[in-house]
Structure 1
Amino acid sequence: MWKYVKKVLIGKPLKTNNTGSQSLNIFKALALLSSDALSSVAYGTEMITTALLAGGAAALWLQLPIAGLVLILLVAIALSYVMIIRAYPSGGGAYAVASQNWGHWIGLVAGGSLLVDYMLTVAVSAASATDAISSAIPEIHNFSLLISIAIVILLMLMNLRGLRESANFLMVPVYFFVAAMIVMLLIGFVRLGLGQIAYHAPTLAEKISPTMTIGFLLFMKAFSSGSSSLTGVEAISNSVPNFNKPKERNASKTLLILVFILGFFFGSITFFSYYLGIVPNGQTTVMAQIADAIFGGTGIAFYVFQLATALILTVAANTGFSAFPMLAYNMANDKFMPHLFKDKGDRLGYSNGIVSLSIGAIALLLVFDGKVEALIPLYAVGVFVPFTLSQSGMIIHWWRERGSFWIFKTLINFIGALISLVLVVSMFTLHFSGVWPYLIIMPLLLRLFHGVHSHYVSIAKQLKLTPAKARVHRHDYDGAMVIVFMGNVTRVTISAMDYARSIGDEVIGMHVSFDTDIKRERKTAKEFEKYFPGIRYVDIHSSYRSVIVPAREFIDSMSKQATKRNWSLTVMVPQFVPKHWWQNAMHNQTAFRLRNAFVSRDDITISSYYYHLRD
């Protein structure tokens, strides 16, 4: 049943040699990896104007210089990540750069920040999409959290089907939004040139009005808020291995195309917001007000554009589903995350990363009750900390390499690192109430990464054969003792005992009896003697209904005897396996508890014997 459901939801398993078929061309990669960045256009300008309103409506003219700074930062980040893609083609992005240039601890800060940020990407996008849906259908507002979780689950299932299928699905909403934006902006500029759109921006006198109180902190708050439009740009550098060959070249082209589109959209939207004198009102978004003004009312074109915006917000979460598994893979490769993140699923995607991301995003939605405004500040910090570390790391990289144009490249990274650092400081000083969890989450993640790494290093040290330890201690046993744990004499017991006799020189049937039914215990002993004459049967009495304690005492004594005789000791735990998985819950878990009780012992071997039921 489960296999059928899995096949329907995820699809047929793909062969390992079909990995190439899951690689992406530029057209599909742009759809798969750009949704987060493009969706930020829908709220980036609004976040700037909302922050500036604290200084009065006349302060809204500052959105133009702020947008200019954001675009400068975008160009610096884009050029930096193109360099990162070429210098670190195996993926990993900020994590790889920071690790190799700053050291593992700083790299883990970048990697941990991005892992959490991708979870936040999914959570924020799902919550934003739900807000858009509930705005259109107010009746479902009370179910917003459940709808957000459902969106995450649907995206998880889609991504478990593989990269190409995800890209095929995402091409529709992503390119629909791109087309809708281009059409709206072209109409806007044409109408502007024809004088059909009135100028409503503040006059020069209003801009310099003495009643306008604009301070540096307000400017920086608006700048840091608007810089959220840059989230998702780094995802391509984390996903280089997913591209068609030549991977670095295709990834670089995709990034530059994304940056051009994002820059054009963000700059144009901010310009129209200023020119039209748009003021956030809490009911209609800035994007909707601009569309209303350009299309000349809320006609068909307006609603088509709103549909495109809602769709891009819905699928924006997919950038996290594309980048998180690759980053987790790279960190697992370095032994800072469990190796299960290196395993590919049936559809050749890193399924464990996809599922873990979904669980993390759902947890964030539950903790923050699906409130977008509560998630955004933490979301921004998770982006700009890695930005700062990666770009400053590239400065070190160029200093070491000193190849062609290294001074120019260093300058670009320096500008990007400086602006990113200013933004990080601004976030912690101006939005501390929203970002303080970062100061708790990051130390916990670093401790987790260190614990995982220490575990793997310790295991490798103990298991690896080195020249210095080429002579491994090997034990030649003189015999084998097998203790079979048994309840009543059943088909399971008989089958297990037959197998035990085939591998053991001495076989013992061990039974733990209680005070509840003495006649039944005697019957069990007689049945054992009937079926296994000559085999030792041990009935251990337990007055306190415990199986583990008396069994441990007997096994301890047998272990000592086996050691004296230079014999191996195996404790076999028979267990029947029901035909249907759900039937396991209806049977006691004695076998499971017995295995757990002795699994840490190095003087005995725990063996399970499974008897499969047919009905």
Structure 2
Amino acid sequence: MVSAVKRILIGRPLKTRETSHAKIGVLKGMAVMTPDALSSVAYATDQMESILVVVIGASASKAYISNVLGFSMIGTLIIIGLAFLLYLAYRNIIHSYPQGGGAYAIGLNDLGKFWGLSAASTLIVGYTLTVAVSVAAGIDAIGPVVPFIGSHKMLANVILTLIIMLINLRGTSESANVFVPFTYVFIGCILLLGVGAGIEAMTHPQSIHMPTSVGMHAVQGMGLFLFLRMFANGCSALTGVEAVSNSVPVFKDPSSKRAQRLLLTLVVTLSLLFLIVSSVAMLHGLTYNPDIPLINQESMLVFGTHGFGYVVTVIISFATMCILGIAANTAFTGCPALWSSMARDGYMPRWVLHKGDRLVYSNGIVFLTLISLVLTIGFDAKVNELMPLYGVSVFYTFSVSQLGMVVRTLREKDTRWVSRAAMSIIGFTLTAAACLIFGITRFTNGAWLVFVCVPLMVFAFSKIRVHYEHVKDDLKYDFTRPLHVAEHSVTIVPIASVNKSSVNALEYAIANFKNVIAVTVIAQDSVDVAEAKERKFRAEWERLHSGVRLIVIHSQYRAVAKRIQRFIELELDLYDNENITVVVPQFITKRWWHKLLHNKTGSILMAWLLLSGSVKVIAVPYRLPR
């Protein structure tokens, strides 16, 4: 039943040799890797304008508003320039680290362990928040035009997150097939919005208000710190750019070249869409509204709210919701890939390296879903409350990658190293400034969680690595030591009664070991009953003709497992630990609820034996047919 449902939801298992068919090219890469970055266009300008509302009066004229929004246009142009600097940095990272890892890889190898692990920690925070923020923003985008979703936002958030998880569990290539149309429809919608706004500007020039230098100088309350806050918020448009460098191995060969091509396509597309949204808002004097995102305002203004224009507005709203929702797909691809890179280096549990039936890191996908749902519920699916955590984490990774490229360029000093180092230094300065501003201005709004969680995560990753190193050292065999075959050993078979399960374990012990002894514990309320039970047990034992010595132990306190434990401890005085083997009979019930009807003496005994670290333990199962 479970297998059938799994096959329906996820699909047939793929063979390892089908890995090449599960990889993607640039076309599908736009659907898998870029939605996070492209979707940020839907809220980046809103985030900038949310800072500028303090200098826009309630009754300000459209011309004054456009002058204020002129600063958001300056911020947009600076951010676009920063996007191309990030492209150059991540292009080199892809070339240098084709196995993936992005900022984590360059931090670990070029800056040191702390930088690499802290970058990985903030990347994980960023990816987790990508799912929570993207899904929440997507639901917010469709809420104004679909009232039912607007009134059941939390339920819609949970359902959409689970749907995206299931699609990703079906495989990278298949998830790309699902998301390709939505990605390109969104790009087409924003381009259509830009064309429509251009036609609107030409046909109704009186509705257009261009900012002027005089007007911008006349804006009251606009200072450097406020501009930097606006710039930092607008930098949310760059979130997701690093995902391509983290997931290079998912591309078809030559994977590095395809990843670099996709990165360039992403940066150009992102810059164009961001420019359109910010320009339309500035020219028409559209201001921040917490209930109606700017893209919705722009589509209503350009296409109207009646007839065919309303249909176009709904399509743009739906496309925006879809791109915001599937932006989480970037995290479902990038985060498990990052975890796998860390696991290969020993900083994450080995189980995140496991690829599921569809050749994706299914354990990582499920784990990411659980963390994201906790954040979504904990922050009530509110984008503004999640964004402070998002901004600090994302721009810290940008800063690490830029700083790493500075160090790498200065160390290698290849052709044009001076110009490349200068660009990396500029990129580091801008991204570090954005990170610092986010951290200071949003510290009390939730950004403090990042400053608490990241050091804890770095500590945890370091301890994981230490554990794996200890395990490796402890398991390393000393070939100078001769192979030792125990001459004096004992094998103990605990038996509750003479039945198929215990005899099955006894036969196994006799066939594989010498000096086998059987031990049983009799615990009854009265001496007479205990003696009667012992006589019956010995009679059944004689009928076996096993030739194995039977030891009967009476327990006055009815503690079966403890008496067997005590017997083994006594045997430890006669034999070395490694020369004692305990063969534990276990019967396995056919149905899960049958387990609740039996005592756990065997399990308790095995747990003690394993935790005590004193003897060898073997469980011999016997499956009950009914």
Give the TM-score, by structure 1 length: 0.94
Distance in 2, matches of 1:253 and 1:227, equals 23
1:47-446 to 2 correspondence within 5 Å?
A: 47-57=47-57, 58=65, 59-139=68-148, 143-195=152-204, 198-200=207-209, 207-209=216-218, 212-298=220-306, 299-433=310-444, 434-446=446-458
**Alpha carbons 1:479, 1:505 under 8 Å: kept:** no
**Of 190-199 and 424-433, the range deviating more from structure 2:** 190-199
Distance in 2, matches of 1:495 and 1:134, equals 64
Match of 1:20 in 2: 20
The amino acid of 2:22's aligned partner reads Q
Distance in 2, matches of 1:552 and 1:197, equals 92
**Alpha carbons 2:23, 2:252 under 8 Å: kept:** yes
Match of 1:498 in 2: 507
**Of 3-12 and 100-109, the range deviating more from structure 2:** 3-12
**Alpha carbons 2:299, 2:316 under 8 Å: kept:** yes
Q: 1:592 to 1:132 in 2, by over 3 A?
A: farther
Shift of 1:438: 0.9
Match of 1:554 in 2: 567
Match of 2:587 in 1: 576
Shift of 1:190: 3.0
The answer to whether the aligner puts 1:476 opposite 2:485 as a matched pair is: yes
Deviations 1:52-108 (A, max 9, x none): 111225433311111111112111111111111112211110011111111111110
**Alpha carbons 2:194, 2:280 under 8 Å: kept:** no
Give the TM-score, by structure 2 length: 0.93
The answer to whether the aligner puts 1:43 opposite 2:43 as a matched pair is: yes
**Of 152-161 and 421-430, the range deviating more from structure 2:** 152-161
Distance in 2, matches of 1:281 and 1:377, equals 19
The amino acid of 2:569's aligned partner reads D
Q: Secondary structure at the match of 1:400?
A: helix
State the Cα RMSD in Å. Answer: 2.1
The amino acid of 1:365's aligned partner reads T
Distance in 1, matches of 2:336 and 2:541, equals 54
Shift of 1:606: 0.6
Deviations 1:491-546 (A, max 9, x none): 11121112221122222222233234735743444433433554322333334443
Match of 2:62 in 1: none
Q: Secondary structure at the match of 1:508?
A: strand
Distance in 2, matches of 1:521 and 1:444, equals 58
Distance in 2, matches of 1:567 and 1:224, equals 63
The amino acid of 2:249's aligned partner reads P
Q: 1:600 aligns with which of 608, 611, 616?
A: 611
Q: 1:535 aligns with which of 527, 548, 553?
A: 548
**Alpha carbons 1:119, 1:360 under 8 Å: kept:** yes
Shift of 1:300: 1.2
Q: Secondary structure at the match of 2:207?
A: coil
Q: Which runs of 5+ in 2 are unaligned?
A: 58-64
**Alpha carbons 2:142, 2:318 under 8 Å: kept:** no
Match of 1:453 in 2: 465
Match of 2:61 in 1: none
Distance in 2, matches of 1:430 and 1:341, equals 36
Distance in 1, matches of 2:595 and 2:11, equals 27
**Alpha carbons 2:145, 2:314 under 8 Å: kept:** no
The answer to whether the aligner puts 1:464 opposite 2:464 as a matched pair is: no
**Alpha carbons 1:155, 1:318 under 8 Å: kept:** yes
Deviations 1:317-356 (A, max 9, x none): 0000010111111111111111222222111111222122
**Alpha carbons 1:125, 1:313 under 8 Å: kept:** yes
Distance in 2, matches of 1:597 and 1:112, equals 37
Distance in 2, matches of 1:68 and 1:472, equals 69
Q: 1:194 to 1:420 in 2, by over 3 A?
A: same
**Alpha carbons 1:385, 1:421 under 8 Å: kept:** yes
**Alpha carbons 2:523, 2:560 under 8 Å: kept:** no
The amino acid of 1:14's aligned partner reads L
Q: Secondary structure at the match of 1:345?
A: coil
**Alpha carbons 2:23, 2:172 under 8 Å: kept:** yes
Shift of 1:143: 4.5
Distance in 1, matches of 2:395 and 2:14, equals 37
**Alpha carbons 1:120, 1:375 under 8 Å: kept:** yes
Shift of 1:279: 1.2
Q: 1:373 to 1:547 in 2, by over 3 A?
A: farther
Shift of 1:588: 3.1
**Alpha carbons 1:514, 1:542 under 8 Å: kept:** yes
**Of 269-278 and 408-417, the range deviating more from structure 2:** 408-417
Distance in 1, matches of 2:10 and 2:533, equals 51
Distance in 2, matches of 1:140 and 1:44, equals 23
Shift of 1:263: 0.3
Distance in 2, matches of 1:604 and 1:455, equals 23
Distance in 2, matches of 1:186 and 1:157, equals 37
**Alpha carbons 1:479, 1:567 under 8 Å: kept:** no
Q: 1:481 to 1:296 in 2, by over 3 A?
A: same
**Alpha carbons 2:142, 2:317 under 8 Å: kept:** no
The amino acid of 2:487's aligned partner reads D
Q: 1:512 to 1:5 in 2, by over 3 A?
A: farther
The amino acid of 2:431's aligned partner reads S
Q: Secondary structure at the match of 2:620?
A: strand
Q: 1:365 to 1:546 in 2, by over 3 A?
A: farther
The amino acid of 2:202's aligned partner reads G
**Alpha carbons 1:509, 1:537 under 8 Å: kept:** yes
Distance in 2, matches of 1:439 and 1:515, equals 60
Distance in 2, matches of 1:388 and 1:197, equals 44
Distance in 2, matches of 1:296 and 1:533, equals 91
Q: 1:136 to 1:515 in 2, by over 3 A?
A: farther
Shift of 1:472: 2.7
**Alpha carbons 1:202, 1:277 under 8 Å: kept:** no
The amino acid of 1:306's aligned partner reads S
**Alpha carbons 1:126, 1:152 under 8 Å: kept:** yes
Shift of 1:246: 1.3
Number of paired residues?
609
The amino acid of 1:314's aligned partner reads G
Q: 1:72 to 1:583 in 2, by over 3 A?
A: farther
Deviations 1:460-503 (A, max 9, x none): 222235xxx43135322115422112223221112111222112
Q: 1:144 to 1:521 in 2, by over 3 A?
A: farther
Q: 1:277 to 1:184 in 2, by over 3 A?
A: same
The amino acid of 1:44's aligned partner reads A
Shift of 1:572: 1.3
Distance in 1, matches of 2:149 and 2:545, equals 68
Give the percent of matched residue pairs that are identical in Structure 1 and Structure 2: 33
Match of 1:590 in 2: 601
Q: 1:583 to 1:40 in 2, by over 3 A?
A: farther
